[in-house]
Structure 1
Amino acid sequence: MATDATNHRNSVRYSPKRHGASGAKCQTNEGKKRKKIIDKLNDAKEKINDLGVSGGQSSVVLDQSPCAFCHSSKQSEGSGPFMAFAQGKEIVGNVDNFSNVIHVHFKCLHCSCGEKGAGLGCYMKSCQRTYHVPCAYNIPGCRWDDGYLLLCPSHASDKFPSELKAKSGKQDTEKSTTLMNVGKNLVFCGSALSSDEKFALADFASSSGAVVSKFWRNDVTHVIAATDSNGACTRTLKVLMAILNGKWVLAMEWVKACMEAGHLVKEELYEVVLDNHGSSGGPKAGRLRIQNNAPKLFSNLRFYFIGDFVQAFKADLLNLVTTAGGTIIETKDQLWLSSKANANQLTLVVYNADFSDNLGVGDEDEDSLKCQRLGAAEDVAQEFGYRVVRHIWILESIACGLLCLDSL
């Protein structure tokens, strides 16, 4: 599943406060190690961002070493999931086999300049406020643009460069006045948008008084998704979270129609129906499920994940499952106990059916790996009398808004 980062390679523009020429020349060994980790991460970045790492809150709380950047052991929506590195490479699986393991938050890793104590400063030059990235994300009054620029609560009403550029010469005064404040309770989140589409969305939000969030958050009201010639959107974490929370998933044409009309137009005509994997009906089904106060999609389902998953990728899957009302079984002991508990709940053993991260593996080796992963899942399922499912089943069920029981 593709993400905005995958489609557009947004680089982090990060501007820590400077403390003189001597500080700029002296880079610590720790900073160099961190830079090496970031460079190494690029090779695995496609997989890590496969679900659209927006840093969603993980449902699993574990004993955790502190982040090498922000020195916090907490994992939140603002920090993203923890990642482990040793000798400049990401560790997937058991870290006990490695020495000198470094743990970092996903977002701290992508937003760190490598200098000790670096902070993210308010975009206003006259403002002296600085924050760690996860801390700033958890402050409701802070406002972000699409390039990791930040405005503190005191300057949240000021404009980012993207907003000034988008606004320049695009809309006449009459339409801007008509739109003003009609979107004051709206929060927009773009999905796989081009640069021009991001500028247009920022312009619309500025004209209407709405807020644009770079990441998924619980108060998002509209996900504005790029669509292809067939009207299909890219399957991203933002789109899937919108479906599960009953929020609008709209094509960019809705924004254009509102700007042309000078007021908000009805969303139904612009609701996305199809995604780029062929799944359809998810956004409408998700809205109706919430409106009708129906049970969540994965209510009465339990999930046990087995085998190799990239940590950030698995964290997003866990986030989706719990948001959809599913229960996570973390250990085999819990799996055994659950088999003796509520028989009305269906338990699924989930294995990773994506082999795109095994670069350089021949067809023969890939077939062997497929057999190993499936075999391990089937052994556990047969032991407890459960069903085996590929991780893709979770995504497909959410994307079409119903349980794909026929594919189990």
Structure 2
Amino acid sequence: MTTTGIRQPQHLKEITSTKENRTSTQFDELDRVLGGGAVKGSLVLLGGDPGIGKSTLLLQVCGELAQKQTVLYVSGEESPTQIKMRAQRLEIDSEQLYIYSETDMSEIRQQVNEMKPDFLIIDSIQTMNEPELDAVVGSVTQVKEVTSELMKIAKNDQITVFVVGHVTKSGGIAGPKILEHMVDTVLYFEGEAHHAYRIIRSVKNRFGAANEIGMFEMKGEGLAEVKNPSAIFLDERLPNSTGSAVVVSMEGTRPILVELQALVTPTAFGNAKRTSTGLNTHRVALIMAVLEKRGGLLLQNQDAFLKATGGVRLDEPAIDLAIAVAIASSYKEKEINQTDCFIGEIGLTGEIRRVTQIEDRIKEARNLGFKRVYIPKNNLKESLRQSEGIEIVPVVSIQQALNYLF
């Protein structure tokens, strides 16, 4: 017996599936991290440090989208005049782009109901407020309720909503963690103030793969796409230098080659320092312990400084072998061949463990002119399909890898 007006459970086979209605942002790098374009009726959160370029990127995206669709850009931080000045600098002049400086959600709802835009931009979520709530703007209660209201607008009116979120000192998006759980997609805009390159990374995506990255370069006229990040990361390598090793890392479905650098020097104090930029310090300390115990390197009285060049941040297990090789190269003062690269996870007993997507990694290394790649022996069968034009060296342990190289 069924009850009128009450939803009933449906059998999985009876549910009809529909393909997502996507719109290209006209930026291939952003489309990549979104899973192929912006999904109609989705709520996307873009987080990042102040001044990193979030508003610039979204204004450029608005300029492209507004060529064919209606876009409402709501700013709680800047006046329409300030946004107009940035739009002129970015050479944006679209007929269907509307700027609205407001923080009251009741007023914003009214404008959305009247305009029925295809895209809604909220910059930023921490400045918006629900007037009915007796809570401070930017508080947990306000941010939660505003996000809930924006989710209703996105789903009920089938409007694609982009929301800007500020990042705290600890690197998380300011406001409650539930903010990330409520939205469909979470993107982080990363970069260093002294680098021109910016990376946009998806950490959650209900409509595509997470951990995808897109890369941009900040220029005077705005953000420009970087189609080949690997070439950028390897562009300034010094020939015949020690303490340098190249890794093929997977960021989502994209393989990128990055130079890892290590500087190992005798410590001048009692406790040796371990410092890293773009790499997990705990991972570095673990690999150094394995090198000392299993590789025969006396590192306990050595300071170690490591970095991933280009401002990129790497945190997957397959970078272990390259970190170990860079440290050993600096410690032994012996250089690594410029056309060698390294892929592999290191276990605590010194074994080199299997990694995923080995074929894509080797293909990218070969395309960029590398002649030899060191991989885990257990990945050898999979890698043979991409072995033409590049020498594959399978290794079982860190000791074997060091013996081959030094």
Q: Normalised by the shorter chain, which TM-score bucket?
A: under 0.3
TM-score between both structures, scaled by the size of structure 2:
0.28
Greater helix proportion: 1
TM-score between both structures, scaled by the size of structure 1:
0.28
Greater strand proportion: 2
Q: Which of the pair has the greater relative contact order for Cα pairs under 8 Å at 6+ separation?
A: 1
